[in-house]
Structure formats: C-alpha cells, structure tokens
Structure 1
Amino acid sequence: MVNTSNTLTLELTLTHYWLAVKAIPRLASHKKIALVEKFGLKALFAETTDLTLSGLTNPQRAAITSPAWDSLTKIISDSSHCHSQIIAFDDPLYPQLLKEIYDPPLVLFVRGNVDLLLLPKIAIVGSRNASISGREIAYKLAGQLTSHFVVTSGLALGIDGQAHLGALYQQGYTIAVVATGLDITYPARHKKLQKDIVENQGLIISEFAPGIAPKPGHFPKRNRLISGLSLGVLVVEASLKSGSLITARCALEQGREVFAIPSSIYNVQARGCHWLIKQGAKLVEDTSDIVDEFEALVTDNLNLSRNKAKDNLAEKSKKQHLCNDPMLASVGYEITPVDLVVSRSKLPIDEVLTRLTVLELRGLVSAVPGGYLKLNRG
C-alpha cells in the first residue's frame, strides 16, 4: 500500500516492490512468487487487494499492507553507494537456472560484469584448510575450465580462493558468491581478490543487502546459490563434515551434476570426495571429464586469452631441465619425509637440503610439516 503520509513523496520502482516481497517474514520464496503471480507485483500491495483468504499470518499481511518503503529505499541507496546493482526475479538478466531451484532469491545484489549471469557456469568448491596438492589442483583446473565456463565459487579461503585465482591467471571469467552485503569482504584477507575479480570483468553476487555481516546461517544459503547458478559442482577437497558437501547436496537436490577429485586414502580432506564418488559423483582426473558432460551447452570462446603463453622458451627449457632432476623424482605428490628423500636419492643430507631449497624456489616442491611435497604446475 502506498497511501501513507511518509510515502506520498516516494517514487516507487519495481525494485522497491520486489524488495517488499522479499521482506515478507517467514514465507518461503516459492510462496512469495506464487503471491506475485496471483495478484501481480504492484497489485499485491494495492489497497483493494483482499488477503483474508491468502493463508498469511498477521505479520505477513502487515508486511504487505504497510511496507517499510523508507527502509527499502535506503537499501537501494546503499547498494548504489557500494557500486552494486539489484537484479530482481523478473529481470532479463536473472539467471534461468537459478529460477528453477526450490527457493530462489527474489533479488540479487551484484557488482561487476552482469553479463556473466547469462553464461554457462561451473562451480569449484572445497575445504578452507586444503592441502597444498588440493590448492594446486583447484588453481590448475579452474584455469583450464575458463575456456568453457565461468568459474563460480564462494570467495572462501582454501579451494575457493584458488579457483578464483586460477581463473584470473588465465584471464578467464569468475563469479564469487558471498554471504555478506557487498560492502563487506569476508574473509577480510580476500579484499584484494574481490577487487581483482571485479576489475578483471568478474562478478560478485549476494542475496544479502549492504551492511549485513556474515553469520553461520548465511553460508548454507550462499552454497545453494553457488550450485544453483551452475551446471555442475566440482568438489576438489572436502572432509566428511565440510560445508562443501552442503553445496554438493544442494546441487543434487537442484538436479545439477556433481564431480569430485580423488586423492590418497590417507588424506582426511579427501574423505568427503571419496564419499561423493561412492554415491555416484563423477570422478574427475582432468577437465574433459567435466566438459564432456555439457558438450551441447558450453562454448570454446569464453576465455579472453586461453592461448596466452605463460613462459618464454628459455624458461620452458629451464623448467624442463629441472623437472628431469633426479632429486625431484625422489619427492612424491604426497608428503615425503626428508630421510626418505635422502634414501631415494642416495645423496648426503646437506646436499639434499640444498637442492630441495632450489627446487622450492623454482616452484617445483613445497616444504610442508613432515617433509616436502612435489607440485605440479603443468
């Protein structure tokens, strides 16, 4: 209703009305959408609309008959001030896949390249406390997948951050779905990453208005958007209690494909992936395992510069020489203790430590608790 004295001078937009629908308390999204379809967006808030047989509670009817237009105007203003825009449910830019989930957000707060909303997406998620190997895999596969998809993730530490970075490194597109208002960066250490995503034609998405801080209940909501936006979800590493398994479950409920990376049976961070594979998730060894599932839906032209050279010929030659180093062959992709490297290489320990340091500086191994780990930058 728009006839109160404090709203007479207010010019209401369609965004106001969608925010007012969103603000109806304790009512599922699909029921709110049903109300809009039954009465019409603006007509729902008209004085003449009879809600007595609608099955709504008194607080729900009050939210419709007396919306807080001033507060909704402030949300729109705050969104503009943090350089974001609001995409409502009936906007042509609203992703069709997201409309198909059980509880789609009625409005999206977005900052960056909104055209990405209409392109095919693949989600990459995993543990915040990922192993070095897991981070490596997420980084590499994300970069490769940008030839076909927009890479979507949650801006979290660990696998999420590496997925965004891998996409950016290959000059591909990436979307970060966050659990806060867009004026807040969580975790704070990803402030630069969030800025880099926007500045490199990426997109930040939230269903939360500016000013809303992270809360535990926000993250499962964010996870359903990550999967809902995407054709499929790739889980790189996840423990059995990981939030990434929530995303995978959301994906299954939404009819999305689920993919998982296998790992060592001793890697506790991989047990969630192994469980998913047992439940029918597709085991992934390289990106073709994903691309082949969506052959009719993906394009080969998403990446801005997928043939970009990463190294000149001299660097490639040097790297090839180092990769043939017998010392490197003594280090495995699982944690390898120094005494085992000494045993395999049959070299004195001081020479082993020196050469391991050289390999680490070249980015071919990494020192980790318990020894060294071979890296594969492919």
Structure 2
Amino acid sequence: MANIIINEETLTLTATHYWLAVKAIPRLAIHKKIALVDKFGLSHLFASSTDLTLSGLTKPQCSAITSPDWPALIKIISDSALCQSHLVSYGDPAYPALLKEIYDPPLVLFIRGNIAVLSLPKIAMVGSRNASVSGREIAHKFAELLSAQFVVTSGLALGIDAHAHLGSLHAGGYTIAVVATGLDITYPARHKKLQNDIIANNGLIISEFAPGVAPKAGHFPKRNRLISGLSSGVVVVEASLRSGSLITARCALEQGREVFAVPSSIYNEQARGCHWLIKQGAKLVEEVADIVEEFEDVLVGSLHLASHQEKSNPIEKSDEQDLCNDPMLASVGYEITPVDLVVSRSKLPIDVVLTRLTVLELRGLVSAVPGGYLKLNRG
C-alpha cells in the first residue's frame, strides 16, 4: 500500500481509498472503470508511471487518476465512521456475489448494520407508495413467511416497502433497506424509527451514496437496480403503470433475476402494473409457495432465524394511512371484504362500521355484495 502526506501526516492508502478514487473518475461508465482496474491493477492504476495515453480517457479523467483528491476521499471515510457506517468496496470479500454479476455494480457500498447478512439469500419486495390496505397486508404477510428462507430486501419507501420491512421484523427475520441518500439522512423522515428497528434487529441499511448526499429523483432508479441486483428475485405486490417498482422489475429482468407479481382486482389502479408484468411473463403469485418453489435448487433449508426481540414488544406498525380521506374506505378492498374484516382493520365497533358502510354505499364508494363489501372504482 502506498503512503501519502495529508496535513503533514503520513497516511497509508488502503484498497478502500483506491476504490473511492476509481469511483470518483468523472463521466466514465462503471464497467469501464472496472476494466481499467483489471488492466492496470488497483493501486498501480494510480502510480505516476502508469501510461494512460492508450486508454481513451479524457484529460479530466486522466487528472482524476494521476492526481486524486485524497483529502476529499479520506473525509468520506471519516464521515462514514461518524454516522456509524463502514465501506465495502468492489474487491472486498464481503461484497455480494450476486451484485458483481450486474452490468453496473457500485464500486463502493456504504453499510450500517450486520454485514454478515450480505452473504445470505435475498428476495426483494417492492410496490406502490400509495398501496391499498389489502396490498399492505399482503406485503406484510408475504414478508413474514419469506423471512424464514430469505433476507427480505426493499427500499424503505412508504407503502409496500415499509410493510415488507415490518413483516420481516415481525417474524424475527433479517431485512435490508437500500436507500437513495447518504446514510446520515433518513428518507422519508417518518421512517427513522423503522430504520433504527432494522439496525437493532441485525438487518442492514445500504447505499451507494456518500454521507451528506440528499435524495434526488435520479438517485431512485439507481437505488432500484441495487434492490434487484442484491436479490435472487423481485416480488411486486402493487404497482401502477408509471410506478418506480416497474423500473425495479425491468432491472431484475435485465439482470437475469426472477420476477413475481401479485394480482388484484381489475378496478384497482395500483394493480395495473402487476397485471402488465404478468402479461409480459412474470410469474403470478397467489401464495408464498409460488415464490419459494422457484428457488428450491439453490435454497438449502431455511435460514432458521431466531427472533431478535421479545414477542411482547412487537415492532410498531407504520402509522401511514391510505390516500383515501375516509379511514373506513381504506378498510374495504377491491375484493370481497367481510364485515368482520372491516371491523378488524378499522378497529371500530361493529355498529359504527355498519353505519359508516351504509353512508359509503350511498355515496357510491362501496357496494354491498354477498359475503361483505367491495370498494368501487372511482375513476
């Protein structure tokens, strides 16, 4: 390892420093950066004697290699330590093997939590931020059951993502949240407790963005490719046709991952993306067994995860509500919903539920049918 002098102190450069320097080469695709390292060697790439003239690099790119901004890169490492995270670089033995297979793997991962989880089999679960109550329940239940054999991976977003994490935590399983910010920032802010619960229960928070990087629109597609890239398959629970979850599904297909979609009512706008995926060849999922059977040849039993918390202190459910103004309406699904299930979801007395359901029916928002009620399509 080479030594450099920073502020009159001699510091030894590690592989992490060098990978950060490779990451910092401007306007160069990741696969080309990896090709440079393969050609010259990691530390030798930055040696003053390296001949870069035949590599087709621009002057700014050559300058970033011959004169890296070591103080800035060292600050990234120190800032990571301050937010209780550490770095896993592309050449690190702990770097996820599946992630190396994708076209544009991140050269450096910023990680908080239990690094051992990176080596376990993972399944991604994504979906709409504006998920229906039924979609949230499905995500929660599927994550509970899948966590016996997989680490459940998602994006810490509202809706399906949050309930996938919560379901895994409720079952005592491991979960990974891939975020689109630096690890010193929680987005959305209301998920600070959820993020802390994931860490407290031996899960992971992962980002390819350095501390201090705020959320931007362009960060989320990059985040989505990591959610699928880390995982053996992607389960889409609810997604509109313009949903970011379809970006994750497309990334999964490009990466050679399995894609699963949970169907819903044809009147549920949040399910149209799932139905489109099924038409394109995604596997229709009605139960967890439909997912697990696709991986029987690679799963060696379950993870046998021990509960990380006492059942008397379960993870609190998210307090987010559906976009519908009336909480009672959010308790009725696009499928037949029995009255007792509406009572359970709304946590209201049955006489109040029956009265309010009648009002909703008069407003044309629900319909009474044999066996319960249906939410009506208002579009």
After TM superposition, the score normalised by the length of structure 1 is 0.83
Alpha-carbon shift at residue 309 of structure 1 (Å): 11
Give the drift of 1:213.
0.4
2:222 partner amino acid: K
Question: Quick check: 2:154–2:178 contact (8 Å CA) kept in 1?
Answer: yes
Q: Secondary structure at the match of 1:201?
A: coil
- Alpha-carbon distance, 1:299 to partner: 3.8
User: Is this contact kept in 1: 2:263–2:274, CA < 8 A?
Assistant: yes
Which secondary structure does the structure 2 equivalent of 1:122 belong to? strand
More deviation in 148-157 or 9-18? 9-18
Contact 1:335 1:371 in 2 (8 A): no
Counterpart residue number, 2:351: 353
Aligned equivalents of 2:120 and 2:208: distance in 1? 19
Identity value in percent: 70
SS of match in other structure, 1:108: strand
Deviation at 1:118, TM superposition (A): 0.6
**Residue identity opposite 2:351 in structure 1:** L
SS in 1 for 2:124: strand
Q: Distance in 2 between matches of 1:93 and 1:182?
A: 19
Q: Which amino acid aligns with 1:237?
A: E
Structure-1 residue corresponding to 2:302: 301
Q: Which residue of 2 aligns with 1:270?
A: 271
- Measure, in 1, the Cα distance between the counterparts of 2:249 and 2:170: 26
1:55-74 map, 5 Å: 55-74=56-75
Aligned length: 336
Distance 1:281 1:335 in 2: 22
Aligned partner of residue 272 in structure 1, secondary structure: helix
When residues 310 and 371 of structure 1 are mapped into structure 2, their CA distance, relative to the original with a 3 A threshold, is farther
> Any conservation in 2 of the 1:170–1:305 contact (CA below 8 Å)?
no
Contact 1:2 1:8 (C-alpha < 8 Å) held by counterparts: no
* Counterpart mapping for 1:114-125 below 5 A: 114-125=115-126
C-alpha contact (below 8 Å) 2:4/2:13 kept by paired residues:
no
Deviations 1:314-363 (A, max 9, x none): xxxxxxxxxxxxxxxxx9742779xx97xxxxxxxxx9633659x9xxxx
- Please state how far the C-alpha of 1:238 moved relative to its aligned partner: 0.3
Q: Distance in 2 between matches of 1:236 and 1:5?
A: 51
Which stretches of structure 1, 4 residues or more, deviate above 4 A after TM superposition? 1-8, 308-311, 371-375
Q: Give matches, 1:216-255, under 5 Å.
A: 216-255=217-256
Partner of 2:171: 170
State how far apart, in whole Å, the 1-side matches of 2:48 and 2:7 are: 16
Q: Are the equivalent residues in 1 in contact too, given 2:232–2:257 (CA < 8 A)?
A: yes
- Give the equivalent residue in structure 2 for 1:127: 128
User: Does the 8 A contact of 2:111 with 2:206 survive in 1?
Assistant: yes
Task: Name whichever of 1-10 and 79-88 sits farther off.
Answer: 1-10
Query: CA offset at residue 297 of structure 1?
Result: 1.5
Q: Which amino acid aligns with 1:179?
A: A
Question: Which amino acid in 1 is paired with 2:161?
Answer: D
Q: Cα distance, 1:3 vs. partner?
A: 6.5
In structure 2, the residue matched to 1:91 is: 92
Q: Which residue of 2 aligns with 1:45?
A: 46
Equivalent residue letter for 1:272: G
8 Å CA contact 1:171–1:303 kept in 2: the answer is no
Is the Cα contact below 8 Å between 2:135 and 2:160 reproduced in 1?
Answer: yes
Relative to structure 1, the CA distance from residue 27 to residue 7 in structure 2 (aligned partners, 3 Å threshold; closer, same or farther) is farther
Residue 365 of structure 1: aligned partner: none
Alpha-carbon contact 1:133-1:333 (below 8 Å) kept: yes
* SS of residue matched to 1:265: coil
> Distance in 2 between the 1:7 and 1:335 partners?
69
Q: Is the 8 A contact 1:233 1:258 kept in 2?
A: yes
TM-score, normalised on structure 2? 0.83
Alignment of 1:30 onto 2:31: yes
Alpha-carbon distance change, 139 to 5 in structure 1, aligned in 2, over 3 angstroms: closer
Change (3 A) 1:286 1:64: same
Q: Is the 8 A contact 1:2 1:46 kept in 2?
A: no
Q: Is the 8 A contact 2:253 2:259 kept in 1?
A: yes
CA distance in 2 between counterparts of 1:300 and 1:374 reads 41
Deviation by residue 1:268-294 (Cα, 9 ceiling, x = unmatched): 000000000000000000011000000
Distance 1:112 1:282, change over 3 A: same
Distance of 2:31 and 2:353 partners within structure 1: 61
CA contact (8 A) 2:260 2:284 kept: yes
Partners of 1:170 and 1:303 within 8 A in 2: no
Contact 1:153-1:177 within 8 A present in 2 as well: yes
In the alignment, which residue of structure 2 is the partner of 1:155? Answer: 156
